[in-house]
Amino acid sequence: MLASRAIVKSASRAPSSCLAFAGTRSAVKAAKAIVSVRTVTTASPQTDRDTITRLLYSIGTKREVERYLRIFSSSSHPSSPAKFAVIKIGGAVLDQLDELALSLSFLYRVGLYPVVIHGAGPQLNEIIEREGVIPDYIDGIRITDARTLQIARRVFLEENLRLVSALEKLGTRARPITSGVFTADYLDQEKYGLVGKITKVDKRPLEASIRAGALPILTSLAESADGQILNVNADIAAGELAKELEPLKIVYLNDKGGLFHGVTGEKLDVINLDEEYNNLMKEPWVKYGVKLKLREIKELLDHLPRSSSVAIIKADSLQKELFTDSGAGTLIRRGYKLFKHSSIEAVGADRLRQVIHDRDPDVLSGEKSVATALSELRETPYTIYGDEPFDVVAIVSHPEGEVPIMTKLLASRSGILNSVVDNVFRSIKKDHRKLFWTAKADDENRGWHFERADGSFTRAGRSLFWYGIQDVKEVEAAVKVFEEKGRIERSYLPVGPSVHPHRSAAAGAPGAKRSYSTSARKPWSLGMGIGASRGYATAAPNPISASASPSTEAKKVALIGARGFTGQALISLIDSHPHLSLSHVSSRQLAGYGLQGYSKSAVTYSDLSPADVERMETDGEVDAWIMALPNGVCKPFVDAVDRGAEKSTGSKKSVVIDLGADYRFEKSWTYGLPELYGRDSVAASTRISNPGCYATSSQLLIAPLLPYLHPAAIPTVFGISGYSGAGTISGQNDPDGRPTTVAKVTGESLGGGIRAYSLTDHIHEREAGAHLSDILPSTSATSGGPSKVQIGFIPHIAPWFSGILSTVSVPLRQPISAKEVKNLFEEKYGNEKLIKVLEKGVPELKDVEGNQGWVVGGFQVHSSGERVVLVGGLDNLLKGAATQCLQNLNLALGYDEYAGIPLK
């Protein structure tokens, strides 16, 4: 099988009939944008790198780009700096000099130094024919006499100089290296003339060039021991270079762009040589040049680490090939031979037992023994899939007439880094048109499962994934059978949120299609973490999947509206953030004064207008905007950001987070309550509405009880908040003349009591009901529940500064015990770092004031069993505003979700 590495493509391929070189897709538009960077020659190296990196975001997700940058950057070491890539340029590609120079220049500008070697076949043919020399070949090798060699040397030097000059014009340092690298003997002087066979590669000139900050540009000319120049095939020279340097990538740039199916015309994304080579070479249609090319690549990769791979692409697709999971050309790697067996004995009981002992998470946690795991395996017909070194083992249970379940997917470190996981999964997908599998909801490799699933939903810290089914009813019917027969580890349908259409594709998978999703989209892997789908991303020092590694890139934030209590809380959090810094803080009243409470740098308040914001976004001055403005004031600034983004040469919009209510009902914006509505949607978004403080607590209180809501009655929330929640007004100037803000309502004005306000139709009432309706189980109305969620909300102000306590009374459509209610909350939120479920008692002010998270307790049921009362609490300035904003900002910028948030 000729495998596909593209996430959104089918794993099955059309029958092969004729393998041929053919053209690639049109040039990636992002490559054109890179030309603008050549004018930024006065920028600092870091600024230059940041600019190019942002341009790369137009061809792949931020996570993909940053992952590959990290992998490639870590591949080189001062003692051996040439381990990133060897790029061989065909002579025909030299005629596309502008595109070629741009593609190489962008690598240089992000600090990557490939070793470049070029041929000049078409140019040489043109000149020798013009000068009356008739070219002659034996076995595809050009016979080279003295006259031909004289012309060849002149052509090679001219083409080398043309490429070096084109790079230098773009501000990219390049060094021509036309001798001193290859030593050769005569291949067969009597037969081929002055054609060499390389016997030695001296990498010192290449490494010296890279250490000096210049790309080494080589010709494929060699010298014999006595100084005779010899002609060497450029492909062979590139291969000998690769054997000496052992790079991550060997890239062949030609005008064809890859290997294409001779009948269907479909590009072959991946060839796994260990699995496919012998069968390919036996096919009658693999012959002549194609057969020779595959044989040469096989021989080359057999000499290199498994982390190395070969890519055949067009010059204008270089960045897409290197920095995206889907790639652009044909990727050829050694891969692994796979097996599948229907019995433990065929696999080897001892080997399988050892794999389960070493990798099964249930065994490692002590929940099960190896014997129990093996015993459970035998309960239904099964197939064991894997590779010969046992780097990956997967087990699929498939009773006759039932939908299969992948019960285990256990990967070693090597299996992860070499993407054997993807090969095994494709083998499974070839055998099973439909498949379910389960996963814990706290895995750090959150993208892998979503990218391969057509749908998913989560309950109690565990997710259920599937592919091959598009109908919700069919999914629920299958799950019901699993639960009745004990084929999955727990019940999903009775209390977990039901499947519903998702609102955005998974982060890191442009174009990925998932028909359904859930209220808590946080995938995990079975066994060890599962890595990215890209086959050659194998040399990162971190054994965990690079796709899951959070970013550590420094980024800048502008805060618009910083006078209020929430703005001050955000400033304090960003001050302790390991990667974020405040570049602009805007306040009309405080413009010109220094920002207090921020220690990273000296920041002066400004009074940014929408025009200022538009210009800053156009120039890419900040990575994120936080709008801490009163309701109804935000839109002009958001519109300015949008206009600036359209004018920007970069392709990635800055992230905008609105702390007000202006965009909480906008479907084009992501509602940022990660614990309920998922992390991936936030991570994939650039426009995020931060939930209201009361609305956050109300939704967290009601969500686990959604399947039990009474259709004819509504939950009622009694909320009481510290007076900071009422906002601020201008106070008297301080002794230095600086304007100050004070609370709109004070503890003294309340006389020690509480004050009710907005007794009906509070905006948080509508906000909570609207978003909870999005995750209401689809079966609710048909099974006697409501068709949408409505709540009643009565807010109060209390004489303390910050902290909200919300008491909810929830009418039920069926009796439930207090213990069952508590279990629902523990299952729903047990893995959330910012949520605490109290063992006993109810939350008090001391539990929430100054606390970064949300706490819930009480869990009382009326004697009738038909009404639940419980209490939740949070700090309105933190989890109700600033902390939640930072959660969303971290996710959107690719950081760890809790970076800068004190978890204790």
Q: Which of 227, 261, 281 is the last residue of a domain?
A: 227
Domains held by the chain: number: 5
298 and 389 assigned to the same domain: no
The pLDDT tens digits of the residues spanning 350-409 come to 889 889 988 888 888 888 888 888 888 888 999 999 988 888 999 999 999 899 999 999
Amino acid at 893: L
Q: How far apart are CA 506 and CA 511, in angstroms?
A: 9
Reported residue count of the chain is: 904
Tell whether 721 and 855 lie within a shared domain: yes
713 and 861, same domain (yes or no): yes
Is the same domain home to 112 and 22? no
Q: Cα(375)–Cα(407) distance, rounded to whole angstroms? A: 13
**CATH code of the domain in which 645 resides:** 3.40.50.720
CATH classification at residue 749:
3.30.360.10
Please give the Cα distance from 794 to 756 (Å, whole number): 7
600, 578: one domain: yes
Looking at mean pLDDT, say which of 405-414, 454-463, 484-493 comes out highest.
Answer: 405-414
Residue 895 lies in a domain: no
143: pLDDT strictly greater than 60: yes
Which pLDDT band, with edges at 50, 70 and 90, does 900 fall under? very high
Tokens, residue 99: 């595109």
Query: What is residue 644's predicted lDDT score, i.e. its pLDDT?
Result: 92
Instruction: Give CA–CA dist 37/101, Å, rounded.
Output: 13
Residue 512 has pLDDT above 60, yes or no: no
A 10 A CB-CB count for 556 gives: 15
- Out of 326-335, 397-406, 622-631, 716-725, which region has the weakest mean confidence (pLDDT)? 326-335
Between CA 615 and CA 640 the distance in angstroms is 8
Average pLDDT over residues 584-599: 86
User: Would the pLDDT of 770 be above 50?
Assistant: yes
pLDDT the model gives residue 848: 93
Q: Is the pLDDT of residue 196 over 70?
A: yes
* pLDDT confidence bin for 134, thresholds 50/70/90: confident
The pLDDT value given to residue 3:
40
Query: Is there a single domain that holds both residue 292 and residue 366?
Result: no
Looking at the structure, tell me whether residues 215 and 286 fall in a common domain.
no
Within 13 Å, how many C-alpha atoms sit on residue 249's CB side?
Answer: 32
Which pLDDT band holds residue 546 (cuts at 50, 70, 90)? very low
**Would you say residue 126 lies in a domain?**
yes
pLDDT of 337 reads 78
Q: Looking at 86-100, 140-154, 261-275, which range is the least confident one?
A: 261-275
Average predicted confidence (pLDDT) for the chain: 80
Q: Is the pLDDT of residue 136 over 60?
A: yes
Q: 668 pLDDT exceeds 70? A: yes
- One domain for residues 286 and 377: no
Q: Give CA–CA dist 451/534, Å, rounded.
A: 13
Burial class for 159, CB neighbours closer than 10 Å (0-12, 13-18, 19+)? buried
The catalytic residues are 693
Residue 256's pLDDT is: 82
Please indicate whether residue 744 or residue 457 has the higher confidence score (pLDDT). 457
Is residue 157 one of the residues assigned to a domain? yes
At 740, is the pLDDT very low, low, confident or very high (cuts 50, 70, 90)? low
pLDDT over 70 (residue 159):
yes
pLDDT of residue 599: 87
- The residue with tokens 């007076």 is 723
More confident residue, 204 or 387: 204
Token code pair at residue 571:
């400033």
Query: What residue numbers bound the domain in which 181 lies?
Result: 108-227
What is the rounded distance in angstroms from the CA atom of residue 434 to the CA atom of residue 233? 49
Residue with tokens 């810094």: 581
Alpha carbons 194 and 144: distance in angstroms, whole number? 5
Spatial distance between the Cα atoms of 650 and 621, rounded to a whole number of angstroms: 11
Tell me the mean pLDDT in the region 333-358. Answer: 87
CA quadruple 438, 443, 448, 452: dihedral, nearest 10: 20
The CA distance from 590 to 587, in Å, is 5
Lowest-confidence pick of 109-118, 234-243, 262-271, 599-608:
262-271
Would 671 be classed as within a structural domain? no
Same domain for 15 and 150: no
Check pLDDT > 60 for residue 20. Answer: no
pLDDT band at 252 (very low <50, low <70, confident <90, very high): very high
Same domain, 326 and 343: no
Token pair of 109 as six digits: 């500008």
Residue that finishes a domain, picked among 662, 685, 704: 662
317-326 pLDDT, tens per residue? Answer: 888 888 776 6
Does residue 434 lie within any of the structural domains? Answer: yes
**What percentage of residues in the chain have a pLDDT greater than 70?**
79
Same domain, 521 and 412: yes
pLDDT value for 395: 95
Convert the pLDDT of each residue in 691-704 to its tens digit.
Answer: 999 999 999 999 99
Please tell me the distance from the alpha carbon of residue 545 to that of residue 532, in angstroms, as a whole number: 6
> In the prediction, which pLDDT does 263 show?
57
Q: Is the pLDDT of residue 614 over 60?
A: yes
Within a domain: residue 84? no
For the stretch 276-317, pLDDT in tens is 888 878 877 677 667 778 888 999 998 888 778 899 998 888
In a domain, 684, yes or no: no
Contact 147, 273 (CB under 8 A): no
Would the pLDDT of 573 be above 60? yes
Query: Which of 19-23, 132-136, 758-762 reaches the highest mean pLDDT?
Result: 758-762
Residues 278 and 352 in one domain: no
Tell whether the model's pLDDT for residue 713 goes beyond 50. Answer: yes
Residue 479 pLDDT > 70, yes or no?
A: yes
pLDDT of residue 473: 83
The backbone torsions φ and ψ at residue 257, rounded to the nearest 5 degrees and listed phi first, read 95, 5
Q: Is the pLDDT of residue 445 over 50?
A: yes
CATH number of residue 307's parent domain: 3.40.1160.10
Residue of 418 and 69 predicted with greater confidence: 69
Give me the numbers of helices (H) and strands (E) for the chain, helices first please: 30, 39
CATH number at residue 512: 3.40.630.30
Closest CA to 769 of 866, 698, 712: 698
pLDDT of residue 522: 28
- 380, part of any domain: yes
Asked which of 512, 539, 566 is the last residue of a domain, the reply is: 539
pLDDT grade, residue 624 (50/70/90)? very high
